Chains A and B, each alone.
Chain A
Amino acid sequence: MIKADHVYKTFKTTDRREVKALVDFSTHITKGEVVVIIGPSGSGKSTFLRCLNRLEEIDSGEIVIDGVDIHDKRENINKIREEIGMVFQLFNLFPHKTVLENVTLAQIVVRKRSKEQAVETARGLLKKVGILEKENVYPSQLSGGQQQRVAIARALAMHPKIMMFDEATSALDPEMIGEVLDVMKTLAREGMTMVVVTHEMGFAREVSDRVIFMDDGQIVEEGTAEHFFVNPTHERTKLFLSQIL
């Protein structure tokens, strides 16, 4: 479903140094697979996610999703993005819109659904993430965990084929992490194709099919969550895991 091959991505910092975010990065993700990407900050995890829906342009290589080369300038990127939901670390809800409007807006203006249809879909999803009673409040009145669940509902409302989570629980207070992870686990069990950047190894162990450990823009080691718990091979991986576990 997702084929990333030999992807290179370099950032220029403000003092004109070059930072290699992705170096010859290749991975294939099949339909229904739940892939967790871990690694120290600055290792290129988020960059990879952002390249998957072209929030970042790649320097070279190829990313093909469902047979479409998404970095091909001739492709309509907006059409591709409809199929890829993204959940951000800082939620990025629309603060001037109510919870319900947050979830219906893109359905109406992008998917061209009728208002009634959009509201029906939105209510269903808000119920699923357990926050239906808050549909008429503004995001600023919600807790972080509630906001993130709304953000997940908003992404799901487009009925995407892939869901990406960019450190979705990193900005949350500890007691709220569980409620967001529960929603993510439900999605994973329902067969959604997911690419998840996270430090939550418990989540990886419970639902992931594969864990990728990245450092310096490259894959250092990949395998099942069990593999990482039981016998990680690289020193770098062992060091990292000892720090986060």
Chain B
Amino acid sequence: MSFNKRSLITLAILAVIVGSAYYFFARKGITYIWHWESIPEMLVYYGSKSAEDAEPRLRMGILMIGFVLTLKISIFSIIFGIIIGTIVGIARLSNEPVTRWLSLTYVELIRNTPLLVQIYIIYFFVGALLRLSAFAAGTAALSIFAGAYVGEIVRAGIQSIHKGQMEASRSLGMSYAQAMRYIVLPQAFKRIIPPLAGQFISLVKDSSLVSVIALADLMFQGQQAVARTYHAFEIYFTVAALYLVMTFALSMATQYVERRLAISD
């Protein structure tokens, strides 16, 4: 990285902003006793859990358990989101009016209602009918939610591929499905990686909403820990950092994939 005059000015402005913010809070005189020492055992600890499980060993703390569950929900929702989104994206461009209307209705219905409401509906109504666990209901809600957004991204991606690609494939005798599978979709997916990455990062963060159906994800466990210890600042900072670990890893992974796929450009 090379610094020029302009970056020095930017840094100076940044320093002034951070400095005044610190001064402001210092004058307010917030006296908060930090308890960072209670955080590590919420991640990992060595010891026994209960009378039945007394053998002392390395165990996951409450936040780490939540982290793993959030990770699981996110991965499942991303996978199902891609599957639903691809189907919806193709359906949106169908020649068949009913297919087109159905997929559009789905997209509009999901995009124009709050995710929180969808989670409640799927858990309390659909979930009760089908006897879904909180995990299944939460994952279903997030997948259906992501599917609508991914569907629109996939549709835009397909439309961005020059129609000559489809024509060339068809003129070689490929069926519509073969042309989609081998020619159009691979190119479309390569092009939509950046918006997809953004969507999935949002999804990881939105997954914190499933804590409302008592699903013990990272957010839920964080709230529990705060209720028990009142160390709200430390715990929520840690929870935020753990979400950041997931979303940042996702960012890096997509950038890596994008670079790898760029070789044919």
Enumerate chain A interface residues (CB-CB to B < 8 A).
Answer: 53, 55, 78-79, 81-82, 84-86, 88, 90, 92-98, 105-106, 109-111, 138, 140, 151, 154-155, 158
In the assembled complex, the Cα of A92 lies from the Cα of B164 at a distance in Å of 6
Shortest beta-carbon distance, A214 to chain B, in Å?
A: 21
A-B residue pair count with CB separations less than 8 angstroms = 69
**How far apart are the CA atoms of A223 and B169 in the complex, in Å?**
34
| Smallest CB-CB A-B distances: 4 pairs | A82-B173, A92-B168, A106-B172, A92-B164
Give Cα A90 to B165, complex, Å.
10
Q: Which residues of B contact A84 (CB under 8 A)?
A: 171
> For residue A55, which residues in chain B have a CB less than 8 angstroms away from its CB?
167, 170-171
Main secondary structure of the interface of B (DSSP, over half): helix
Residues of B170-191 contacting chain A, CB below 8 A: 170-175, 178, 182-183, 186-187, 190
Q: Are A94 and B183 in contact (CB under 8 A)?
A: yes
Give Cα A53–Cα B173 distance, bound, in whole angstroms.
10
How far does the Cβ of B210 sit from chain A's closest Cβ, in whole Å? 37
CB distance from B6 to the nearest CB of A (A): 35
B173 & A81 in contact (Cβ 8 Å cutoff): yes
Kindly identify, within residues 28 to 51 of chain B, every residue whose CB is under 8 Å from any CB belonging to chain A.
Answer: none
| Interface size, B (range) | 20 to 34
Chain A residues in 8 Å Cβ range of B178:
109-110
Inter-chain contact B172/A96, CB cutoff 8 Å: no
Known: A90-B162, A105-B182. 10 other contacts (CB 8 A): A78-B173, A84-B171, A92-B165, A92-B167, A96-B187, A96-B190, A97-B264, A140-B264, A140-B265, A158-B173
Tell me the nearest residue of chain A to B184, going by C-beta.
A94
A106 near B264 with CB under 8 A, answer no
A86 neighbours in B (Cβ, 8 Å): 168, 171
A93 to B165, CA, bound (A): 7
Residue positions of B touching A, CB distance < 8 A: 162, 164-165, 167-175, 178, 182-183, 186-187, 190, 261, 263-265
Query: A96-B186, A96-B264, A109-B178 known; A81 and B165 CB under 8 Å?
Result: no
CB-based contact A95/B168 at 8 Å:
no
CA gap between A81 and B264 in the complex, in Å: 28
- The answer to whether A81 touches B172 (Cβ under 8 A) is yes
Ordered by A's residue number, 30 sampled pairs between the chains whose C-beta atoms are within 8 Å are: A55-B167, A55-B171, A78-B174, A84-B171, A85-B171, A86-B168, A88-B164, A88-B167, A90-B162, A90-B164, A92-B162, A93-B168, A94-B168, A94-B169, A94-B183, A95-B187, A95-B265, A97-B264, A105-B182, A106-B172, A106-B173, A109-B178, A110-B174, A110-B178, A111-B173, A138-B263, A138-B264, A138-B265, A151-B168, A155-B171
Q: How far is the CA of A126 from the CA of B202 in the complex (A)?
A: 47
Residue of B with least CB distance to A139: B264
Contacts of A94 in B (CB 8 A): 165, 168-169, 183, 187
Residues of chain B within 8 A (CB-CB) of A105 are 182
- A46, chain B: closest CB distance, angstroms: 11
Contact yes or no, B165 A53, CB < 8 A = no
Closest to B161 in A: A95
Contacts of B187 in A (CB 8 A): 94-96
Query: Across the interface, which residues of B come within 8 angstroms of A79, CB to CB?
Result: 173
**A110:B172 contact, CB within 8 angstroms:** yes
| Known contacts A95-B264, A96-B186, A138-B263, A81 near B164 by CB under 8 Å | no
* A187 vs chain B, min Cβ distance (A): 17
B264 CB contacts on chain A under 8 angstroms = 95-98, 138, 140
What separation, in Å, do the CA atoms of A154 and B175 have in the docked complex? Answer: 17
